[in-house]
Amino acid sequence: MRVKVVSKRLVKPRTPTPQTLKTYHISFMDELNPTMNVVGIFYYHSPSAAAANLEGLQQSLSDILPAFYPFAGRYMKQDRVVDCSDQGALLIEADVDHQMLETMKLDVVEELNDILPCEIGAADDETDPILLVQLNKFKCGGLAISVCISHRVVDACTLGTFVSAWTNAARGGNREEICPVFDGPAFFLGKNFPAPEFGTTRGRENGLYSIICKRFLFNKNTISGLKERVFKPTEQSCPPSRVGVVSGLIVKAIDRARAQVGPSTDLFVAQAVNIRERTVPPLSRHSCGNLVALAITELSAEETKRMGLEDYVRVLGSDARKAVRGCAGVISEEGHRGWIEASHEASEVSLREDVSVVWVTDWSKFGFYEADFGWGKPEWASVANVVVKNHVLLMDTKEGDGIEAWVQLEDTHMPYFEAQIRNFISA
């Protein structure tokens, strides 16, 4: 797939950022994220999409940047602040020598990174824009808008809030309908923690990524069948969610694949939990930043040998619900300590070779399929290869009743993982 950049321009806020907001101090939750970008790609195929122009996107982007003022700034790593002096978000236009439908069916997920406006790991330097957008025009007339925002400043929920506000403005909606709030640092004051090491790099080695990424589609019928297998009405009050049952299946398959490649190891699973609207007092659903807690599951190799699919689903679900309940107290000093300890533990364990570490994050509730710039809702919403080993990212399907799982593993593990998934589903 060949991508030719046609133009680049910096988009500044429609109105200047007030002097009182020129310096944005990040929170300790922001500090403890890896150096990388949060990405989303939105694909459109309609006559009106083919007529989309860069000027219209630039205007609507400029219109909403005053509300998202850190996104037009630059991160000052040494001071751990965003300099919000309206340097601008980068907007790129590119021609793609490929059919959009072929791109949507790519077996080699890494090629999707070619239509991003920057490399996944290109973040945190003073010259890196916080926000980058690329308008990709395919030769068939379809287009894809790819968005990268520094993980130092945002999480996936914030990406969803930004895209919702931008598409609303592009359709001529009320700019005040979505009111972002950058209040995370007020509740989670920065502590000058160094960014953890997750193996991310600014570019590709020899043109390739070292981690394989594949996507797996679990449709409504598959999920219903899995629920029937793991749900025991006599022992459980309600069946697991679609995210819960898919998470359990994937973690089990990763664990079994690891055991086939080398010796069995203990299992450590970290599930991301959105804390918005769950804290006391409640943070707004439009609070921007990294506002995520971790649900930690630790299991010994001996335990997992005896566990069936229903056990993985039950244990992971129980730990996730416990983490959700714990969100109520996360704003307290005790809550701060617990969050920091869990984050440091996860970071340290992730570097060990004697433990199988799995990261699970759920993006299925962030409304990406509602992203209508005026050309209709997207045909597909995707990510790319985020280049983090044993990383599982769950997204909604267009129909809203399935799950699309993006799984990143070492190349030696992926064939065994795929075989495990096939076996579980066909059993």
372 in active site: yes
Which one is catalytic: 95, 183, 311, 372?
372
Which one is catalytic: 45, 151, 391, 413?
151
391 in active site: no
CA-closest candidate to residue 70, choices 59, 58, 81: 81
Beta-strand (E) ranges in 255-345? 266-274, 292-299
Asked if 420 and 216 touch (Cβ cutoff 8 Å), the reply is no
Report CA Rg, the chain: 21
Which H/E stretch holds residue 313? Answer: helix 309-326
How far is residue 356 from each of residues 169, 191, 293, 389, measured CA to CA in Å? Answer: 44, 29, 20, 10
Q: Is the dihedral of CA 366, 367, 371, 377 positive or negative?
A: positive
Q: What are the helix (H) ranges across 210-308?
A: 220-230, 242-261, 301-305
The three-state secondary structure class of 349 is: helix
CB neighbours of residue 97 within 10 Å: 10
Asked if 75 and 126 touch (Cβ cutoff 8 Å), the reply is yes
Residues ≥6 apart with Cβ < 8 Å to 60: 166, 169, 170, 373
Asked if 28 and 97 touch (Cβ cutoff 8 Å), the reply is no
Q: Is the peptide bond before 281 cis (omega within 30 degrees of 0)?
A: yes
Question: Which residues carry out catalysis?
Answer: 151, 372
